Amino acid sequence: MSTNQPHCVYAETTKDDAGDWSIEMSNDSGSCMIHFPMTIRAVPGPCRAPLKVSDITFNTAHLSWGPPSDDGGSKITHYVIEKKEAGKTYWTTVSSQVGICP
C-alpha cells in the first residue's frame, strides 16, 4: 500500500464484523460514501480428531486427520507438520508444505 493513498485500518475485527460496510470520505472539495462487502479472515480452527498414525517405520509415519470445522474464512491450501522430541522444550518443522488430499 502506498503511503500517498488514503487507507483505513480496523485492527480489532472478529468474524461477526463481516457483512456490508460503508465509509464516508470528505475534504474541502466535498465528500463521498462508498459501500463494500467486508470479509474477515482469521486463523483456522484445529484439525478434527482423530489424528491417525499408521505405516510407522524407523524414519517415517503416515498421518491423517479431518479438516478443521472453521477454515478461518479462507480455503486451506496446506498444513505445517511439526514435532517435539521427548525431553526437548521446542518444536521443529518436519514439513511446511503438506498438501491437501482429495
Band the pLDDT of 56: cuts 50, 70, 90. Answer: very high
Q: Does residue 55 sit within a domain? A: yes
Three-class SS of residue 40?
Answer: coil
Local structure of residue 31 (DSSP, 8 states): E
* 53 within some domain: yes
Count of structural domains within the chain:
1
Domain contains 68: yes
Which residue segment(s) compose the domain that 83 sits in?
48-98
Cα–Cα distance, 82 to 1 (Å, whole number): 33
For residue 18, tell me if it sits in a domain. Answer: no
Instruction: Name which of 29-33, 75-79, 89-93 the model is least confident about.
Output: 75-79
pTM of the model: 0.57
Give the model confidence (pLDDT) of 86-100 as tens digits: 999 999 999 888 887
Mean pLDDT over each residue of the chain, to the nearest integer = 86
pLDDT at 7: 67
In a domain, 63, yes or no: yes
